[in-house]
């Protein structure tokens, strides 16, 4: 049974009623798998939603492309960037730039998802890659950031590595769709990276991540098989085992004789 792609209004109506699922996916295979698995929301690289095959792979995924603010530029640059993505079937755009930039897009009816808590592109302001909002003062700063996003016209916000108690209290006091990355179930959606779920990430695993498969081991196995196959090919060429007669084409003897006479005459 096919699913209907949710709208912003649909997501707002679901706030507080059930936990939505969200993934960061990087390619068509992952997007198609998310579609078939029943995931609700995906974050994607902009080039993926611009791929004309994207909606064939993921017809019902609420799709949110995004890049770090310093990759895009000024507020006007963001608007041009967002229009192109919206035209290509994006349902919202992620933006970690300032409130004025978010308001600039919202004023032009672009649904915008902001970011609070640990914001990787701005982590220097909160002490690096660690939890944000563990004191009353810093928790209030997260709350105030959410209220600033509301005022700017955002429709939602990723809330990353904030204490669960703080995230729940904030989510209950905002109209924004709150996307939890390591901030607990008091928000509206749970957000993980496909790389972590699939076990593709060979680096640091965040506390909030959960590994369901070991694709890294499978890639290692495939790479070993790749090397073995290439090595066998090299050995076959060196030994004369390749090519065999079945790999080549022969000329009819009469045509070959005629060809040889003509080519010798020109030599």
Helices 75-87 + 99-106 axis angle, to 10? 40
Domains within the chain, CATH numbers bracketed: 8-213 (3.20.20.60), 219-265 (no CATH)
87 pLDDT more than 70: yes
Burial class (CB in 10 A: 0-12, 13-18, 19+), 122: middle
Catalytic residue ranges: 160
Q: What is the pLDDT of residue 249?
A: 96
Per DSSP bridges, beta strands 62-65 and 93-94 are unpaired
| 243 preceded by a cis bond (ω within 30 of 0) | yes
Residues forming a β-bridge with 5: none
Query: CA-to-CA distance for 159 and 226, rounded, in angstroms?
Result: 41
Query: CA-to-CA distance for 50 and 138, rounded, in angstroms?
Result: 38
Per DSSP bridges, beta strands 177-181 and 41-44 are unpaired
| pLDDT 10s digits, 132-159 | 999 999 999 999 999 999 999 999 999 9
Task: Over range 70-94, report the average pLDDT.
Answer: 95
Tell me the pTM.
0.88
| pLDDT 10s digits, 196-236 | 999 998 888 888 899 999 999 999 999 999 999 999 999 99
φ and ψ of 229, to 5 deg: -65, -45
| Residue that the structure tokens 């993980």 belong to | 192
**CB atoms inside a 10 Å sphere around CB 59:** 13
């Amino acid at each position: 049974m096919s699913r209907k792609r949710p709208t912003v209004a649909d997501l707002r109506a679901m706030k507080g009623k059930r936990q939505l699922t969200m993934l960061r996916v990087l390619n068509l295979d992952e997007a198609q798998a998310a579609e078939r698995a029943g995931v609700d929301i995906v974050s994607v690289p902009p080039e993926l939603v611009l791929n004309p095959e994207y909606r064939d792979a993921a017809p019902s995924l609420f799709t949110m492309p995004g890049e770090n603010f310093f990759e895009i530029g000024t507020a006007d640059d963001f608007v041009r960037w967002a229009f192109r993505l919206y035209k290509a079937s994006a349902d919202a755009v992620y933006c970690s730039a300032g409130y004025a930039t978010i308001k600039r897009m919202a004023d032009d009816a672009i649904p915008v998802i902001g970011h609070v808590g640990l914001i990787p592109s701005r982590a220097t302001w909160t002490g690096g890659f660690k939890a944000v909002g563990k004191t009353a003062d810093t928790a209030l700063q997260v709350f105030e950031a959410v209220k600033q996003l509301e005022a700017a016209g955002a429709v939602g916000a990723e809330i990353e590595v904030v204490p669960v108690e703080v995230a729940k209290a904030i989510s209950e006091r905002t109209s924004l769709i709150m996307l939890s990355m390591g901030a607990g179930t008091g928000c509206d959606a749970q957000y993980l990276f496909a790389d972590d779920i699939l076990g593709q990430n060979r680096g640091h695993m965040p506390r909030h991540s959960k590994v369901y498969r070991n694709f890294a081991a499978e890639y290692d196995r495939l790479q070993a098989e790749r090397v073995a196959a290439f090595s066998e090919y090299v050995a076959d060429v060196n030994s004369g085992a390749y090519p065999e007669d079945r790999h080549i084409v022969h000329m009819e003897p009469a045509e070959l004789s005629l060809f040889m006479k003509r080519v010798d005459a020109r030599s």
